[in-house]
Chains A and B, each alone.
Chain A
Amino acid sequence: MSADKKIYGLVAEFNDSDLLIKAAEQTQEAGYTKTDAYTPFPVHGLTEALGIKRTILPWIVLTGGILGCLGGFYLQYWVSVEAYPLNVGGRPFNSWPSFIPVTFECTILGAALSAIIGMLSLNGLPQPYHSIFNTPNFERASNDGFFLCIEEQDPKFDKKQTRRLLEDLGAVSVSEVES
């Protein structure tokens, strides 16, 4: 590979998830921070091995739920008390017990929408192009391959040393991926 081509990182392919987890742990220990793994299904222990922080998604969902709840109730309150007060059988305009079902549905709707929108936007999806797709054999990442990538952005990244580390960890192949 010519020197002037910008590379995204070094990607190691593994045949087994245990090897991948071990490799992830080792790279963490070696001090690499800009790493990521690619697997066909969620692998238990990988999140910890890579030192990935817990996502803030639950808080986003909680906020969405609370906003849905307040918004739903306020909508009904405003409609029934301010905009269009109707006397139905002498019930108070703000007959809050009857407003509970719609408030509940709005809570769920707000939370569910923020769950998917939050998950996708934190993940940066939809993203039509990503350098990792240049990895040879990468279609195995959605089938039966396990990949570990150390990005070129990593302060400790060194083409030769990083490659040696990955090879020692039992990778089937290590490839330099263009960005």
Chain B
Amino acid sequence: MSDSKDKDSILGQAGPLLDSGQTIQSVGDKVTSVIFRKKQPIPWFVVLGIASMLLGSLTLSVVWLLMKGTGVWGLNIPNAWGFAIVNFVWWIGIGHAGTLISAILFLFKQQWRTSINRFAEAMTLFAVACAGMFPLLHLGRPWVFYWLFPYPSTMGVWPQFRSPLVWDVFAVSTYLTVSVIFWYTGLIPDLATMRDRAKNKVGKIVAGIFAMGWRGSARHWHRYEVAYLLLAGLSTPLVVSVHSVVSLDFAVSIMPGWHTTIFPPYFVAGAIYSGFAMVLTLMIPVRSIYGLKSIVTMRTIDNMAKIMLATGLMVFYGYLNEIFFAWYSGNKYESFMMLNRMTGPYALQYWMLILCNGIIPQLLWFRKVRQNVISLFIISIIVNIGMWLERYIIVVTSLHRDFIPSSWDNYAGTIWDWGLYIGTIGFFLFAMMLFIRWVPMIPIFEIREIIHAKTKKTLGTEKKP
């Protein structure tokens, strides 16, 4: 990597921030202005309104489900896993980009990540929350969800630790906890900035409580930086493990199409792919509505598109690999499954998936496409759809044609499946809107650090000759 060149061009594009001596100040102004402005922009209200309506759909679907049981979903035997698992994997995959951006790119010292990491981490939290709803509701009796955890119950029963479904409980709950910790740690200094800038008393007190009395002491910063680095180092293997464990829910079974060793890496790549797509879907409108284009520069957007392209190619390789091994294994169930996937009742969804995830994203090879936010926005939505279809295809095509033809049955989601699914999208958008409104969505102190390093560097070089 052309490191020094890269860094310069990021900061070159951040242009106006570096013009005057006011720069460190101006970042704070810009980011906190989103929170302290008197009125949020109209699009914020529009999205919040739509999200609230979708939340209604969530409530209704959950209440109906609790009243009637999982029979209101389109599940049957052999399709015992339907939308619930599809949506679970889809959401948790989306969450992975946040951790990737904040932890892995931090370890690689990719400075362009700084402007989007807080936002992407918030996205992680809400996506994981959405993901968690599905397995819980799929339990049928979600109010006894705590049976999943190992605790000394009066029944004398303990979880079965040889099951990937129990691994999932640990992986997802650890992931959520560590993501919250990482996100909050990153927020503390910015909350102190908010506390010191708040104009009214309530804002000062609330931000003050959450800032926990942060005062920017050099001793504190030292421990803080060590803690942040360690958390990044811990989150990196964690994020890989979480989606690997999710993929083991499938791979450990003996279903044709699921029982493959490529699943863990292929799922992780897919997770990053869909997550970057979601960050782009959200960030492209947000940066233009809130005038943050000078902080979230085209450089960042372009890099995200490149990562999307790279992970998209890995995912596409996964698809090809599945086809190859269905043939090469010589297993008739595997090859039947693959042929049925391509030509059977779900052929349309399969080819849509190849189009959305494999073909269209090839446009990202072109610089013009990556530099055009509208085309990127559209591609990111297409990828989101494609990734949802991928999980749908994986779950349904393997299940609906079982080993015994007498048990074959087709699957389709009912209105309650769809109601719950779009309901979680509403929950996600609602939470994102509240986040944008109340929390600094760009890490102020980290951006300041970059600007500061840059200004010192240019001053240094000016002095030298």
Contact = CB atoms under 8 A, between A and B. Distances in A.
A119 B224 contact: yes
Contacts of B30: none
B212 A127 contact: yes
B162 A91 contact: yes
B445 A41 contact: yes
Contact of B448 (A40, A104, A128): A40
A18 interface: yes
Contacts of B445: 40-42
Interface string B142-176: 00000000100000111111101011001100100
B231 A42 contact: no
A75 B224 contact: no
Contacts of A24: 218
B197 interface: yes
B260 interface: no
Interface stretch (B11-19, B234-242, B277-285, B384-392): B234-242
Interface string A138-179: 111111100000000000000000000000000000000000
Given A57-B230, A119-B227, A37 B218 contact: yes
Contacts, number: 188
Contacts of B218: 24, 36-39, 43, 46-47, 50, 52
A143 B222 contact: no
Contacts of B25: 143-144
Q: How large is the interface on B (under 10, 10 to 19, 20 to 34, 35 or more residues)?
A: 35 or more
A23 interface: no
A153 B150 CA distance: 51
B445 to A, nearest CB: 4
B195 to A, nearest CB: 7
B216 interface: yes
Contacts of B219: 36, 50, 52, 123
Nearest to A57: B226
B158 A38 contact: no
A58 B230 contact: yes
23 contacts: A36-B217, A39-B218, A39-B221, A40-B448, A42-B221, A43-B221, A43-B452, A47-B218, A47-B222, A65-B234, A79-B159, A84-B157, A86-B160, A95-B162, A101-B170, A101-B248, A108-B174, A108-B178, A111-B230, A112-B234, A115-B231, A116-B227, A144-B24
Given A109-B174, A115-B227, A129-B213, 13 more contacts: A36-B217, A37-B218, A40-B189, A43-B452, A58-B230, A61-B234, A76-B161, A91-B162, A112-B181, A113-B181, A128-B208, A142-B195, A142-B214
